[in-house]
């Protein structure tokens, strides 16, 4: 069967597969748009066939969405934490119960395999559960030492920012649309979400399930449209911006937010290294490298694009790795079984082909792959392994964001660290070694936000109580854990002063008061007070 769904706003002519036209209409009804909007038709990368016609928002619609969110946020901020937690726990259950339908949306819109789409199901459920159970602890009021012991009582509170804008990309349409707004909501904010146009239905499915779980009307608004217009309008009006996407666009988002003195968190590009040490378990390293290089057809910010192997195991590693890559099965079915899916678009395919052909033309060797596969689908490209990549080749330093990995031989751990750090990016890295202590020591020398030991990316990403984010040109701020929710709040210090104040007591002159305070400061130091 061909995965095609088309909901035409004029004729309602439909061809169904897996997801009904009525469900698509129900989802698109959640978009904030004019009564007679313009429409855009999206197409599945799996076959090139149409998926759905989507109503488009305008910058004026964004203004309406932000105003509605702001009005709803005041009541939501007063909602007890246990009520918010209950909503997220019900949402957790709904995601797992309705996963078949969600998986269909993810595959149809992004082109990834069923197994790679399932990563998003687990991730969203895990983040929902984590913040449902941990948000109260992360945001609880904290007492601090005051200026005067006992007499100054200082309490720090976490106050919601107000309206948070989440601008999400296409490559992880469920995860990146939903998991960033979960902590924002749990912190008492309202959210305006602008998902990527290509993957809007997947995001809307998550929004629908949040409503079913009990999220009050108005707290979560959705606008649909292109980044330079609708996305920019979100950035220009909200109280905090959460953006995931390219480094070039991230810089513009940061500039826009800075001009308004509002905060922003940015998860951007990566040129990630996986290092196979001389003592690595090669079977484990091969399996991990295959997953890390070719998950979601390489359209994953944390995936491996540089495979660095110690010279002592280089030949043996390649003897196992290259056949494993060559044996990968490409597939467009909405079912489990394929090892790798499609690139998203002609643009992604063109970039991948250009990087491979540039490297091939300048002397790199294609060990396997390097071919477009239109027999599978319009944007399928074989998983590709390059050897002999050098500095003049585009793929050496630029992010390919496709199923291409370059292999490098190194003579030592020091050489591996130098190569891992020889990039403008600093998002993710991986080290395969039998000596975890040595792996942790190496990890601290690599300038990136997450490092996995004996795993490619899933261990660090899936540890949702720990922070995840980038250094250098890979972004600002962190998602997950305490930082992932506190960023959506303002710290407020309320200090009550009792009895003795900061002016000299009655009858004491300024000089005697100053001497008394000087003695008190010395005493507090001697007592070890902070």
Rounded Cα–Cα distance for residues 363 and 173 (Å)? 37
Residue 84 to residues 33, 42, 139, 358, 396: CA-CA distances in angstroms? 28, 34, 13, 52, 46
Please confirm, yes or no, whether 301 is among the known catalytic residues.
yes
3-state helix/strand/coil string of 141-204:
CEEEECCCCCCEEEEEEEEECCEEEEECCCCCCCHHHHCCHHHHHHCCCEEEEECCHHHHHHHH
- Contact present, 237 and 66 (Cβ < 8 Å): yes
Exposure pattern of 393-411 as b/e (b: 16+ CB <10 Å)?
bbbbebbbbbbbbbbbebe
Q: Which residue has the tokens 């319009």?
A: 378
- Contact present, 115 and 300 (Cβ < 8 Å): no
Backbone torsions φ then ψ of 388, nearest 5 degrees? 85, 25
Backbone torsions φ then ψ of 71, nearest 5 degrees? -65, -40
Distance of CA 128 to the CA centre of its chain: 14
Distance of CA 484 to the CA centre of its chain: 11
Residue 249 to residues 258, 266, 277, 340, 467: CA-CA distances in angstroms? 14, 10, 36, 28, 23
β-strands 152-160, 163-167: how paired?
unpaired
Backbone torsions φ then ψ of 415, nearest 5 degrees? -65, -40
Please confirm, yes or no, whether 267 is among the known catalytic residues.
yes
Residue 153 in tokens = 């009582």
336 forms bridges with which residues in the sheet? 338
* Maximum C-alpha span of the chain: 94
Choosing from 33, 242, 301, 395, which is the catalytic residue?
Answer: 301
Exposure pattern of 291-320 as b/e (b: 16+ CB <10 Å)?
bbbbbbbbbbbbbbbbbbbbeebbeebbee
Rounded Cα–Cα distance for residues 297 and 405 (Å)? 11
Rounded Cα–Cα distance for residues 485 and 161 (Å)? 11
Choosing from 4, 119, 120, 267, which is the catalytic residue?
Answer: 267
307 forms bridges with which residues in the sheet? 274, 407
Rounded Cα–Cα distance for residues 356 and 408 (Å)? 16
Rounded Cα–Cα distance for residues 269 and 247 (Å)? 6
Supply the residues annotated as catalytic. Answer: 267, 301
């Amino acid at each position: 069967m061909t995965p095609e769904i088309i909901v035409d706003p004029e004729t309602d002519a439909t061809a169904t597969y897996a997801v009904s036209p009525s469900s698509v209409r129900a989802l698109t009804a959640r978009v904030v748009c004019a009564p007679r909007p313009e429409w855009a038709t999206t197409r599945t990368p799996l076959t090139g066939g149409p998926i759905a016609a989507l109503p488009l928002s305008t910058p004026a619609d964004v203004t309406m969405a932000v105003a509605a969110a702001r009005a709803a946020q005041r009541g939501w901020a007063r909602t007890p934490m246990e009520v918010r937690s209950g909503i997220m726990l019900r949402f957790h259950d709904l995601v797992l119960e309705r996963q078949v339908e969600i998986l269909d949306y993810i595959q149809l819109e992004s082109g990834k395999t069923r197994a790679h789409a399932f990563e998003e199901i687990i991730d969203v459920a895990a983040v929902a559960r984590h913040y449902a159970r941990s948000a109260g602890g992360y945001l609880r009021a904290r007492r601090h030492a005051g200026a005067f012991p006992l007499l100054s009582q200082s309490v720090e509170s976490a106050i919601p920012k107000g309206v948070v804008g989440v601008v999400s990309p296409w490559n992880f349409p469920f995860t990146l649309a939903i998991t960033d707004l979960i902590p924002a909501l749990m912190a008492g904010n309202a959210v305006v979400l602008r998902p990527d146009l290509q993957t809007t239905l997947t995001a809307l499915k998550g929004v629908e399930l949040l409503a079913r779980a009990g999220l009050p009307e108005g707290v979560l608004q959705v606008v649909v449209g292109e980044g330079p217009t609708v996305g920019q309008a979100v950035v220009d009006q909200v109280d905090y911006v959460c953006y995931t996407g390219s480094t070039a666009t991230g810089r513009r988002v940061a500039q826009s937010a800075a001009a308004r003195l509002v905060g922003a968190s940015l998860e951007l590009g990566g040129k990630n290294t996986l290092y196979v040490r001389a003592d690595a378990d090669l079977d484990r390293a091969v399996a991990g490298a295959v997953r890390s290089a070719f998950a979601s057809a390489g359209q994953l910010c944390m995936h491996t694009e540089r495979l660095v192997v110690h010279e002592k195991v280089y030949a043996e590693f390649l003897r196992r790795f290259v056949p494993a890559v060559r044996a990968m099965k490409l597939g467009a079915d909405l079912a489990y079984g394929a090892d790798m899916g499609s690139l998203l678009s002609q643009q992604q395919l063109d970039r991948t082909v250009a990087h491979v052909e540039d490297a091939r033309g300048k002397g790199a060797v294609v060990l396997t792959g390097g071919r477009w596969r239109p027999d599978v689908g319009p944007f399928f490209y074989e998983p590709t392994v390059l050897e002999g990549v050098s500095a003049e080749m585009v793929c050496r330093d630029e992010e390919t964001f496709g199923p291409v990995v370059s292999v490098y031989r190194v003579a030592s751990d020091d050489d591996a660290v130098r190569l891992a750090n020889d990039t403008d990016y600093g998002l993710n890295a991986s080290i395969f070694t039998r000596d975890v202590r040595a792996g942790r020591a190496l990890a601290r020398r690599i300038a990136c936000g997450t490092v996995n030991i004996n795993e490619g990316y899933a261990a660090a990403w899936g540890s949702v109580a720990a922070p995840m984010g980038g250094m250098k040109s890979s972004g600002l701020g962190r998602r997950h854990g305490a930082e992932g929710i506190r960023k959506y709040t303002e710290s407020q210090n309320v200090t009550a002063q009792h009895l003795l104040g900061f002016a000299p007591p009655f009858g004491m002159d300024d000089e005697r008061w100053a001497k008394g305070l000087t003695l008190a400061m010395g005493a507090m130091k001697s007592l070890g007070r902070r």
